[in-house]
């Protein structure tokens, strides 16, 4: 249920908070006080489009936030969406927030997780259902009629299982279509892949080979010069009669003779030893380098040819030879798929057909049960309408099969509610033929019938009493109060006959503060309730007789026990027998 609602910067509502309870919550107040703006805030939390003009003058944004206490059923229905949002702990108290900026931009938040308006709508429509003269979210949208019939027939679980199977079939059919398209292009693609694989395998580059070959090529291009340098260096350092190593040895012998007698001669001896070691190592390196520089005619050409192969391969495949092994693996896998496309396609087609057959079988079962329940739903709603003073109304839940080949996510059916308020007149689409007052009562009748099976946790009725009064208003109040035994009800009304049934009564007041109009919402005590009902009965001048009448209305509302619901299984059994 909706336990807390906070609205800021929305039209007349500068900063308003409501703490709501179970049962029937009623909001009353003068016309224009801002009651319907509260419904607008709930519509935003339900995913309705936000417009910049709703932002209060002087505010940067309009904000609506609400906390819902969820029972096990609501948690089960919302589980997939909350899993998708990554919301794990603390689901029992779910917070939604919607921000509409003056510049048109806004935010949608579920349990402190920033999300899309579409995801907020997906969550919000499971929590709030709004019925008003202008917003009939679930009842005048034909696409929702099938959900309402399924709720009445107890088919929610079966319809959900079908929808999951339908998604699997669609995925399998799409995979087969994708592979079929690739197979049509497959011959040319396979030839191309084979050519690239053969080229990479023929060149077969080694890790680090390109850098090593570049260094080798530099040396080979000046091989004669570097070989001559190496021989000369070895000769000067070690081989010639006056080689530096020999001359250093003579100096070292002389220094050793006086090293014991002079500290400086000792230091010279150490430096000469180091120089002799360095000289011998340099000579040895020069000899090794000279040996390495021995080459056969054509070595440079071979290195440059190999370099050209590697550079070409590098340009063709993205400029990174180190990534070629992974690319080669991917190309081999793709080629294998193309080479075996027929077998893969046959398996995918078989899987898709298997899933389609299961979908058709389950859809046929859904159709049979919907058709059986449709008449029962119509009769149940008509009985409610009779109690609401439309005694000879007719409502038909029309179940039509889709054309062959048009299996949909709901099965084989299209469901639409048809209505006639007058004897002898044919039924027609509900949202086209019902007047405002009639539509209000039809909406309430359907809600009353579905209150034990409908999945929404909170019903919002915004002036569904328009155009009625007297005994009809009292009947509406009784039906709203009965519905509130199963689901929380939030009702905005101008009629005292309805407000008398409230479990919690709020008055919406308009005030002027610092030259600005603001709206406040006050929860009424028992005495204040009587005064409010008396005002609604008698106008601006509250009389003693109006107060007495208000007391009588409240006493009458409390003395009538909630209407007992017929078990849903019994209703379905009757529907199947009819």
Q: Between the ranges 178-192, 354-368, 554-568, where is the mean pLDDT highest?
A: 354-368
31-40, 501-510, 525-534, range with the lowest pLDDT: 31-40
pLDDT of residue 357: 93
Q: Say which residue, 225 or 181, is predicted with more confidence.
A: 181
Does an H or E element contain 96, and which? strand 93-101
User: What is the 8-class DSSP label of residue 55?
Assistant: B
Please check the confidence at residue 116 and state whether its pLDDT lies above 70.
Answer: yes
Long-range residue pairs from 414-422, CB within 8 A, at least 24 positions apart, any chain: 414/146, 415/142, 415/145, 415/146, 415/149, 415/370, 415/374, 416/142, 416/145, 417/139, 417/142, 417/145, 417/148, 417/446, 419/393, 419/394, 419/395, 420/393, 420/394, 421/390, 421/393, 422/392
C-beta of residue 465 within 8 angstroms of C-beta of residue 494? yes
Confidence of residue 416 (pLDDT cuts 50, 70, 90): very high
Phi-psi region of 394 (alpha: psi -120 to 50; beta: other; left: phi over 0): beta
Confidence of residue 576 (pLDDT cuts 50, 70, 90): very low
pLDDT of residue 301: 75
Sorted by sequence, the CB contacts under 8 Å of residue 27 that are 6+ apart come out as 35, 38, 490, 491, 492, 493, 506, 507, 508, 521
Domain boundaries, given as residue ranges, for the chain: 190-339
- What angle do the packed helices 186-203 and 299-316 form, to 10 degrees? 150
Bridge-partner residues for 239, per DSSP? none
3-state secondary structure of 91: coil
Average pLDDT estimate for 74-83: 85
Q: Over the stretch 303-337, which tens digit does the pLDDT of each residue have? A: 778 888 788 888 877 767 777 888 788 888 888 87
Average pLDDT estimate for 108-119: 92
**C-alpha angle 126/130/136, rounded to 5°?**
110
Please check the confidence at residue 101 and state whether its pLDDT lies above 70.
Answer: yes
Percent of the chain past pLDDT 90, that is, above it, reads 33
pLDDT of residue 133: 60
Percent of the chain past pLDDT 70, that is, above it, reads 89
Please check the confidence at residue 35 and state whether its pLDDT lies above 80.
Answer: yes
Q: Say which residue, 60 or 563, is predicted with more confidence.
A: 60
DSSP for 360-418 reads: HHHHHHHHHHHHHHHHHHHHHHHHHHHHTT-TT-EEEEEEEEPPTT--BTTBSEEEEEE
Average pLDDT estimate for 176-200: 82
Q: Over the stretch 443-465, which tens digit does the pLDDT of each residue have? A: 788 878 876 555 678 988 886 77
Q: Say which residue, 185 or 117, is predicted with more confidence.
A: 117
Distances (CA, A) of 249 to 231, 238, 256: 22, 11, 11
Strand order in the sheet with 413-420: 394-401, 413-420, 428-429
Does an H or E element contain 505, and which? strand 504-513
φ, ψ (nearest 5 deg) of residue 57: -60, 130
Q: Say which residue, 245 or 501, is predicted with more confidence.
A: 501
Average pLDDT estimate for 150-157: 89
How far is it, in rounded angstroms, from Cα 14 to Cα 136?
27
Please check the confidence at residue 483 and state whether its pLDDT lies above 70.
Answer: yes
Q: Say which residue, 135 or 413, is predicted with more confidence.
A: 413
Distances (CA, A) of 550 to 196, 326, 530, 547, 554: 90, 83, 6, 5, 6
Average pLDDT estimate for 418-425: 88
pLDDT of residue 192: 86
How far is it, in rounded angstroms, from Cα 215 to Cα 303?
10
C-beta of residue 545 within 8 angstroms of C-beta of residue 520? no
Confidence of residue 490 (pLDDT cuts 50, 70, 90): very high
3-state secondary structure of 560: coil
φ, ψ (nearest 5 deg) of residue 354: -60, -45
Average pLDDT estimate for 147-159: 89
Please check the confidence at residue 138 and state whether its pLDDT lies above 70.
Answer: no
Please check the confidence at residue 406 and state whether its pLDDT lies above 90.
Answer: no
C-beta of residue 162 within 8 angstroms of C-beta of residue 362? yes
Which tokens in the block code for residue 293? 């520089």
Average pLDDT estimate for 425-441: 78
Q: Say which residue, 246 or 527, is predicted with more confidence.
A: 527
Mean pLDDT across the chain, nearest whole number? 84
pLDDT of residue 98: 95
pLDDT of residue 379: 94
Q: Over the stretch 256-294, which tens digit does the pLDDT of each residue have? A: 887 677 788 888 888 888 988 898 898 888 888 777 766
C-beta of residue 452 within 8 angstroms of C-beta of residue 565? yes
Sign for the CA dihedral angle at 193, 344, 167, 407 comes to positive
Which tokens in the block code for residue 456? 């929404």
Please check the confidence at residue 488 and state whether its pLDDT lies above 70.
Answer: yes
How far is it, in rounded angstroms, from Cα 509 to Cα 517?
10
Does an H or E element contain 510, and which? strand 504-513
3-state secondary structure of 1: coil
Confidence of residue 238 (pLDDT cuts 50, 70, 90): confident
Average pLDDT estimate for 435-440: 67
How far is it, in rounded angstroms, from Cα 8 to Cα 1?
21
Q: Which of 113, 247, 302 is nearest to 310 (CA)?
A: 302
pLDDT of residue 573: 37
């Amino acid at each position: 249920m909706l336990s807390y609602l906070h609205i800021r910067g929305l039209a007349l509502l500068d900063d308003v908070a409501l703490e709501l309870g179970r049962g029937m919550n009623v909001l009353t107040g003068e016309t224009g006080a801002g009651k319907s703006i509260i419904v607008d805030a709930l519509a935003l939390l339900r995913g309705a489009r936000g417009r910049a003009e709703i932002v209060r003058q002087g505010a940067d944004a309009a904000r609506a936030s609400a906390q819902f206490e969820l029972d096990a059923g609501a948690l089960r229905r919302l589980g997939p969406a909350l899993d998708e949002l990554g919301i794990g702990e603390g689901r029992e108290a779910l917070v939604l927030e919607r921000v509409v900026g003056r510049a048109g931009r806004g935010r949608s938040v579920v349990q402190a997780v920033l999300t899309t308006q579409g995801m907020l709508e997906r969550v919000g429509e499971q929590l709030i259902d709004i019925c008003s003269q202008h917003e009939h979210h679930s009842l005048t949208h034909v696409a929702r009629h099938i959900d309402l019939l399924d709720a009445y027939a107890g088919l929610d679980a079966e319809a959900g299982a079908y929808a999951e199977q339908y998604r699997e079939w669609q995925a399998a059919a799409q995979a087969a279509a994708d592979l079929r398209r690739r197979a049509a292009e497959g011959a040319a693609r396979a030839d191309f892949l084979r050519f690239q694989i053969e080229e990479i395998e023929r060149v077969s580059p080694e890790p680090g080979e390109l850098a090593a070959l570049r260094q080798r090529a530099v040396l080979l291009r000046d091989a004669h010069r570097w070989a001559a340098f190496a021989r000369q260096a070895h000769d000067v350092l070690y081989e010639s009669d006056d080689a530096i190593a020999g001359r250093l040895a003579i100096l070292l012998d002389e220094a050793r003779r006086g090293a014991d007698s002079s500290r400086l001669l000792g230091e010279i001896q150490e430096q000469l030893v180091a120089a002799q070691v360095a000289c011998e190592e340099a000579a040895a390196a020069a000899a090794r380098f000279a040996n390495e520089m021995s080459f056969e005619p054509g070595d440079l050409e071979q290195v440059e040819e190999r370099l050209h192969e590697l550079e070409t391969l590098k340009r063709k495949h993205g400029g990174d030879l180190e990534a070629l092994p992974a690319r080669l693996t991917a190309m081999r896998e793709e080629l294998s798929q193309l080479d075996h496309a027929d077998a893969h396609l046959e398996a995918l087609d078989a899987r898709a057909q298997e899933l389609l057959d299961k979908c058709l079988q389950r859809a046929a079962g859904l159709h049979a049960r919907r058709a059986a329940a449709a008449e029962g739903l119509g009769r149940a709603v008509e009985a409610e309408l009779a109690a609401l003073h439309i005694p000879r109304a007719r409502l038909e839940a029309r179940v039509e099969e889709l054309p062959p080949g048009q299996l949909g996510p709901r099965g084989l059916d299209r469901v639409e509610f048809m209505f006639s308020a007058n004897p002898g007149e044919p039924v027609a689409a509900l949202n086209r033929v019902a007047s405002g007052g009639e539509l209000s009562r039809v909406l309430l009748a359907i809600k009353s019938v579905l209150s034990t099976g409908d999945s929404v946790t909170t019903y919002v009725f915004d002036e569904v009493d328009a155009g009625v009064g007297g005994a009809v208003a009292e009947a509406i109040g009784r039906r709203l109060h009965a519905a509130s035994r199963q689901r929380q009800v939030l009702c905005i009304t101008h009629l005292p006959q309805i407000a008398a049934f409230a479990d919690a009564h709020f008055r919406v007041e308009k005030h002027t503060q610092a030259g600005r109009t603001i709206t406040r919402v006050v929860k009424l005590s028992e005495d204040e309730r009587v005064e409010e009902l008396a005002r609604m009965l008698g106008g601006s001048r509250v009389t003693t007789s109006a107060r007495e009448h208000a007391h009588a209305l409240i006493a009458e509302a409390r003395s009538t026990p909630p209407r007992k619901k017929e078990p849903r299984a019994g209703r379905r059994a009757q529907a199947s027998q009819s």
